[in-house]
Amino acid sequence: MEYFLELFLGGLTRGSIYALIALGYTMVYGIIELINFAHGEIYMIGAFTALIFASVFTLLGFNDLSILLLASLAAVTWASAYGYTIEKLAYKPLRKAPRLSALISAIGMSIFLQNYVLLAQTSDFLPFPRLIPHFSFMDPIVHVIGSAELVILITTAVVMIALTLLIKFTKLGKAMRATAQDRDMALLSGVNINKVISFTFIIGSFTAAVGGVLIASHIGMINFYIGFIAGIKAFTAAVLGGIGSVPGAVLGGMVLGWTESFATGYVSSDYEDVFAFSLLVLILIFRPEGILGRSTTQKV
């Protein structure tokens, strides 16, 4: 039973990270129906920015807590700036083009950003400072769940709730929902579409950067390639939960995290990804719109 609990919590932690990245995919998709392949790279750039600023502040002799706060602040600032710029450069000119063109543009952007960081920084793995402090009150249960895991779970929950409130109750949230439902109609009702889309990218990049900082300080190392695999998994999570749906992305992330964790724990880690993708195929066969996705009736 303890083993089950350990795997459950491990899956939950991993799932939280997937969920944080999946939010960006799902919101962007909800608004402009684009698979933003470069989103995983935003997560990577967020983690790199945090590493760079953390190192600089360490050398300047700041204390641990202020390093954590300043580095995280820098990470979300720059990640959001990258998200905003990418949309303006690579996707905005393509809004009226065939959907596949925007997808290729996204793939190109993803390859570009990976190599940009590779060339401007390094291809080696870099040690990431352990920004999350160790809580001594966690000691008795450290073999089940560590401090870093706890911080990840709490942060994810907070981000999730804040985002739901934002979408449900603010004017901007209303505009986002309107744009997602019918872009032309929203435009006619006086919604500034460009602003809404930019904002969606900024929020998505923000959550991805939060995920990037958390996981990097948890596992303690990063390189330019971490965004790719995390991005594909998070995208899977978003589709699993029903792309376009915020609670769906969270649920999808968790389901994917648990699947991988239990597959490793009870079967074999050789096939953890096979289990993850097979689950995806199975769910989509029986619920083609994902677990929480709305089924859309196609109009002619």
Partner 1 sequence: MLSFAEIRRSVLVSAWFMFLTFPVMVIRVNPIEEVVEWRWRNLIMVGAGSFLISFVWRYLIARKERGKKAAEAGRAGGPPLARRAAVHAGFHKPLMGALAVFVLIFPFLFSTYQVNIMATALIYVMLGLGLNIVIGLAGLLDLGYVAFYAVGAYAYALLNHHFGLGFWAVLPIGAVMGATFGILLGFPVLRLRGDYLAIVTLGFGEIIRLVLENWNDFSFGPSGIANIDRPGFFGVEMSLEAATNYVYYLLIGLVLMTIFFVNRLQNSRIGRAWIALREDEIACQAMGIDKTKTKLTAFALGATWAGMAGVVFAAKTTFINPASFTFLESAIILSIVVLGGMGSIPGVIVGALVLILLPEYLRAFSDYRMLLFGAILVIMMVFRPEGLIAGARRVYEFKGKKETSDTADGIHT
Partner 2 sequence: MKAKLVRFGVFTLTALLALAMSAGVGAAEDIKLGVAGAHSGDLASYGIPSIRAAELVAKEMNARGGVLGRQITILTEDDVCKPEVATNTATKLVSGGVPVVLGHICSGATKAALGIYNASNVVVLSPSATNPALTQSGDYPNFFRTIASDDAQARLEVDFATDRLGLKKLAVIHDKGDYGKGLAEFAKKFIEESDKAEVVLYEGVTPGAVDYSAIVQKIRHSGAEGVIFGGYHPEASKIVMGMRRKRMGTVLISDDGVKDDTFIKVAKEYAEGVYATGPRDTSQNPLAIKAVKEHQETYGADPGAFYLNAYAGTMALLNAIEKAGSTDYEAVTKALRSEWVETPLGKISFDERGDAIGVGFSMYQVRNGVYIEVK
Q: Which residues contact partner 2 (rule: CB under 8 A)?
A: 3, 6-7, 10-11, 13-14, 17-18, 118, 123-127, 142-143, 146, 149, 215, 218-221, 223, 225-226, 228-230, 233, 260-261, 264-265, 268-270, 272-273
Residue 252 interaction partner, one of partner 1, partner 2, none, beta carbon < 5-8 Å per kind: none
Binding span for partner 1 by CB under 8 A among 16-24, 62-70, 114-122, 253-261? 114-122
For partner 2, the closer CB: 4 or 169: 4
Question: Which residue, among 56, 55, 49, has the nearest Cα to 72 in the 3D structure?
Answer: 49
Strand (E) or helix (H) holding 75: helix 64-86
Binding status of residue 280 toward partner 1 by CB under 8 A: yes
For partner 2, the closer CB: 210 or 230: 230
Q: How far apart are CA 50 and CA 72, in angstroms?
A: 6
Torsion of CA 11, 224, 237, 184, to 10 degrees: 150
Binding status of residue 43 toward partner 1 by CB under 8 A: no
Q: Maximum CA pair distance of the chain?
A: 64
Binding status of residue 49 toward partner 1 by CB under 8 A: yes
Cα four-point dihedral sign 240, 297, 26, 111 = positive
Q: How far apart are CA 25 and CA 206, in angstroms?
A: 12
Kindly calculate the radius of gyration of the chain based on its CA atoms and give it in whole angstroms. Answer: 19
Binding span for partner 1 by CB under 8 A among 88-96, 155-163, 201-209, 255-263? 88-96
Residue 288 interaction partner, one of partner 1, partner 2, none, beta carbon < 5-8 Å per kind: partner 1
Q: Degrees (nearest 5) of the Cα angle 34, 120, 73? A: 65
Binding status of residue 93 toward partner 1 by CB under 8 A: yes
- Closest contact distance (angstroms) between CB of 101 and partner 2 is 21
| Per-residue tokens: 134 | 């160790």
CB contact at 8 A, 209 and 201:
no
Residue 230 interaction partner, one of partner 2, partner 1, none, beta carbon < 5-8 Å per kind: partner 2
Q: What share of the chain is helix, strand, coil (3-state, %, to 5)?
A: 80, 0, 20
Binding status of residue 53 toward partner 1 by CB under 8 A: yes
For partner 2, the closer CB: 13 or 49: 13
- Helix residue ranges, H only, 87-245: 99-120, 147-169, 171-181, 183-188, 193-219, 226-241
Q: How far apart are CA 21 and CA 211, in angstroms?
A: 7
Binding status of residue 89 toward partner 1 by CB under 8 A: yes
- Closest contact distance (angstroms) between CB of 70 and partner 2 is 22
Sites of contact with partner 1 (CB under 8 A): 29, 33, 35, 45, 48-49, 51-53, 55-56, 59, 74, 78, 81-82, 85, 89-90, 93-94, 97-105, 107-117, 119-122, 126-129, 232, 235-236, 239, 243, 270-271, 273-274, 277-278, 280-281, 284-285, 288-290, 298, 300
